[in-house]
Amino acid sequence: MDSVIQEALKNSEKEKLYRQNAANAEDIGDVCEYLENPRILIAGCGGAGNNTSSRMHDIGIDDVEIIAINTDKQDLEICRADKKILVGKSITRGLGAGGDPEVGKRAAELARGTLGEVFEESDLVFVTAGMGGGTGTGVAPVVANIARESGAIVIG
């Protein structure tokens, strides 16, 4: 319960800061300048999510950081992304979740600290996964929660 209250207070403080800066702005141009450089991430979870990450990376979207998250080391190695994170190595040995979403979820929970650092200071996070296997189905909800806890708007 304390963590929920602390999270609400943290988000309230962030919103208050935005409002203060907007109120102090001379005109709408100042507000736009303040909000001009949001930190946007695309988080591809599992095989399908990593395929999306690779495609987005190939397209070359400006000012967006592309993150690939997987339990399958080989799939992660061929993925193209700005940052790659192998989760659950101790339980999957880098061989994937075997179609089991509970394994994917446990893998993401074990990497909560690392994932929290990745999503720190993010403003908008798109989470992409196929939801047909174990990693994407299990990892995506955990990733979405971690990003939301960091104060980001989460879509996916």
Count of residues in the chain? 156
d(CA 81, CA 67): 6
Phi, psi (deg, nearest 5) at residue 66: -105, 125
CA–chain centroid gap for 83, Å, is 11
pLDDT in tens, the chain (156 residues): 566 566 655 666 666 666 666 555 555 555 555 467 899 999 999 999 999 999 999 999 889 999 999 999 999 999 999 999 999 999 999 999 999 999 999 999 999 999 999 999 999 999 999 999 999 999 999 999 999 999 999 999
pLDDT confidence of residue 36: 72
Contact of 70 with 107, CB cutoff 8 Å = no
Q: What pLDDT score does 19 carry?
A: 63
pLDDT of residue 17: 62
At residue 152's C-alpha, the angle toward residues 121 and 99, to 5°, is 110
Rounded Cα–Cα distance for residues 55 and 39 (Å): 20
What pLDDT shows up at residue 22?
57
Specify the pLDDT at position 37: 84
Contacts of 105 (CB under 8 A, 6+ apart): 138, 139, 141, 142
